[in-house]
Amino acid sequence: MEVLRFTAVKSLNSCVGSEFTATSSVIVPIITVKVSGTRKSKKKAFIRAKATEILSSPATVTEPLKAEPVEASEAPVPLLRVSPSSLQCEPGYLIPNTPVLGTGGVTGYEYLTNILSSKVYDVAYETPLQKAPKLSERLEVNVWLKREDLQPVFSFKIRGAYNMMAKLPKEQLEKGVICSSAGNHAQGVALSAQRLGCDAVIVMPVTTPDIKWKSVKRLGATVVLVGDSYDEAQAYAKERAEAEGRTFIPPFDHPDVIVGQGTVGMEINRQLKDNIHAIFVPVGGGGLIAGIAAYLKRVAPDIKIIGVEPLDANALALSLQHGQRVMLDQVGGFADGVAVKVVGEETYRLCEELIDGVVLVGRDAICASIKDMFEEKRSILEPAGALALAGAEAYCKYYGLKGENVVAITSGANMNFDRLRLVTELADVGRQREAVLATFMPEDPGSFKKFAEMVGPMNITEFKYRYNSDKERALVLYSVGLHTILELEGMVERMESADLQTINLTDNDLVKDHLRHLMGGRTNVHNELLCRFTFPEKPGALMKFLDAFSPRWNISLFHYRAQGDTGANVLVGIQVPQDEVVEFEGRANNLGYEYAVESLNEAYQLIMH
Three-state DSSP state, 239: helix
In 3D space, the residue among 429, 329, 324 whose CA is nearest the CA of residue 370 turns out to be 429
Identify the active-site residue in 215, 319, 369, 411.
411
What is the three-class DSSP state of 462? Answer: strand
3-state secondary structure 489-540: HHHHHHHHHCCCCEEECCCCHHHHHCHHHCCCCCCCCCCEEEEEEEEECCCC
Phi-psi map region of 432: left, alpha, beta (phi>0 left; psi -120 to 50 alpha): left
DSSP symbols for 572-594: EEEE--GGGHHHHHHHHHHHT--
| Angle between helix 157-166 and 255-271 (nearest 10) | 130
On the 0-12 / 13-18 / 19+ scale of CB atoms within 10 A, 575 is middle
Helix count and strand count (H, E) for the chain: 21, 23
Active site residue 157: yes
Q: Residue 346, class by beta-carbon neighbours within 10 Å (0-12 exposed, 13-18 middle, 19+ buried)?
A: buried
Could you say which of 50, 146, 157, 464 is catalytic?
A: 157
Give the C-alpha separation, 509 to 368, whole Å. 16
Residues in the chain: 609
Are 106 and 347 contacting, i.e. CB atoms less than 8 angstroms apart?
no
For residue 104, the 8-state DSSP code is: S
Q: What single-letter DSSP state applies at residue 90?
A: -
Q: Where are the alpha helices (DSSP H) in 12-132?
A: 40-55, 108-116
- Indicate the DSSP class of residue 412: B
Burial class from Cβ neighbours inside 10 Å (0-12, 13-18, 19+) for residue 539 reads exposed
Beta-strand ranges (E) seen in 418-492 are: 434-442, 460-464, 473-481
Query: Cis link prior to 152 (omega < 30° from 0)?
Result: no
In the residue annotation, 175 being an active-site residue is answered as: no
Are residues 573 and 526 in contact, defined by beta-carbon separation less than 8 angstroms? no
Nearest to 249 by CA among 186, 194, 196: 186
Residue type, 325: R
Distances (CA, A) of 545 to 42, 542, 558, 599: 65, 5, 12, 19
Output the CA angle 393-399-403, nearest 5 degrees. 70
Residues 202, 199: Cα–Cα separation, whole Å: 10
Active site residues: 157, 411
